[in-house]
Structure 1
């Protein structure tokens, strides 16, 4: 090739070099424009993978800091928990044979001297009852909101001292607030009660018989409390006849108690004993004047145990209490 031709080619190449440089530069810029976002995403993904704990790590260690890495902190070890033991069912209550396990209770009868008892003496009466362990109490000569005894509800006050329920039967000096009569107190629930006035003669103090249907551990016990006339035997006979007609109207366990104003060999007691028994026959005198006038007379559903006569100094009568075991079914 001639010298002139080589020079011409050299000149042309020199002229093309700037153009080629421009083309290469533009191509490089275009390539960077396309690849740069992808490289950034890849770097970010790599950074996320190295700086954030995995889902497994987060679930296992909820309190781990965000900067902790899965490779730098070992996974916590878990202890396998055993299944909790089955909850034991409450044991079933054993079935109680009402014949083999009789219901035990103590019954008291106490004449509290005409209601002429101060509020302070009511505490003493409550103390006598508490000391006897009585579950059922028959009170005679009781006042309810009468002026002579301080206008207080005597049976309610005594019952409140003992945590008992009380019912009252007014027979004389009756007002809309109370009167004078008999009361029954019970540690067991009293389901129902009623009071019946007895035969009377003109000018005599009205007498009555108070009834309470008491539920003793699921079994009904019908309790009658009375106080008969003290002046006439014929009137007492009429009164006990009326009382026994009420007593005999009920089936099941029942008991008559109170002040009969009659001795152990009297016709009055004989009338009652035609269908009841004398649980305290061996207990002796129940009155300051001697003699026995206060009785507890159960039917065959109740078996009498130990009995006690307790002079109290709070009344001219003594408190008489007897322990009983009550049958629970008719076929026992």
Structure 2
């Protein structure tokens, strides 16, 4: 009997649970609707009671003083540049370049280091700007193991380049040199045809910048024993000379006189600047030449015998134009 009553109670409880859930939900909603306005009033009252941080300004401390603002220097803007200024045009024909050129065979470099100052004196006295030296040594025992071109150039405040045609030792040799008070921008030395174990010869080239204008200078010393060999050598020299445009000059010891085939080959494209100067050797012959092309006009010239060599120093003044059509 009791078991039957318990079962009935469980069934009724299950039926009442949904009703109870609805009743609780409704009660909760009603309670919240009553309490919400009161809670809002309380929060607003609390906010009104607390002082605003910006309501009243803080009073400055009587001992504090305002720091001065840093001062800055005011710079004025630079004026606007409308156009870049152009470089003035220079008429290459209106300003000829004047220079003095010397060729000098110093007799195999067979001078003591102390006599190199004497060679420098000969150059200085002539006022030469460009100098072509033949038979000059570089670091050879017979001439004191010194760099002759560099020493002579140092006496004159010039630049120097050297072309070795015979290498006597690992440290130096024998050949030709070019000295210049103008900048030298590039040089080379080319060996010339040879035969029968004769002394090797060459042609030394240097690009010299004379007041902005290039002058190509060639210095050579041809064989003194065989005319046929000299002819082959001057042919090689002129092939090199003719490969360059602009102002150029060939000088040196050609070991050939007036009317020779060697000189005739050179004069096919060059001119003889010292034709009226006379002998350039103690033996009475003329073998040392300065041969410019048409870009250089020859002026005064001079032949100066010295005690330092059996050759004389040959000097000519030139005026070099700056363009082909001047």
- Give TM-score scaled by structure 1 length: 0.71
- CA displacement at 1:202 relative to structure 2: 2.0
1:257 is matched with 251
1:319 is matched with 313
**Aligned pairs (5 A) from 1:68-79:** none
Is the 2:305–2:312 Cα contact (8 Å) retained in structure 1?
yes
Deviations 1:272-291 (A, max 9, x none): 00000000000000000001
2:235 is matched with 241
2:296 is matched with 302
Q: State the 4+ residue runs in structure 1 displaced beyond 6 angstroms.
A: none
- CA displacement at 1:196 relative to structure 2: 0.2
1: distance between equivalents of 2:143 and 2:95?
43
Partner of residue 218 from structure 2, selected from 212, 215, 224: 224
- CA displacement at 1:264 relative to structure 2: 1.1
SS in 2 for 1:142: strand
1: distance between equivalents of 2:174 and 2:255?
18
1: distance between equivalents of 2:208 and 2:272?
21
- Give TM-score scaled by structure 2 length: 0.73
Partner of residue 272 from structure 1, selected from 254, 266, 270: 266
2:53 is matched with none
2:16 is matched with none
SS in 2 for 1:268: helix
2:188 is matched with 194
- CA displacement at 1:95 relative to structure 2: 4.3
1: distance between equivalents of 2:282 and 2:126?
20
Q: Does 1:154 align with 2:187?
A: no
Q: Does 1:207 align with 2:194?
A: no
- CA displacement at 1:199 relative to structure 2: 0.2
2: distance between equivalents of 1:185 and 1:93?
32
Where in structure 1 are there 5+ consecutive unaligned residues?
1-91
Partner of residue 94 from structure 2, selected from 83, 100, 111: 100
1: distance between equivalents of 2:185 and 2:211?
12
SS in 2 for 1:157: helix
Is the 2:140–2:169 Cα contact (8 Å) retained in structure 1?
no
Deviations 1:103-155 (A, max 9, x none): 00000000000110111110000000000000000000000000000000000
**Aligned pairs (5 A) from 1:119-198:** 119-198=113-192
Root-mean-square deviation over aligned CA pairs: 1.4
SS in 2 for 1:303: strand
2: distance between equivalents of 1:270 and 1:143?
30
- CA displacement at 1:176 relative to structure 2: 3.5
1:79 is matched with none
Cα pair distance change 1:128/1:93, threshold 3 Å: farther
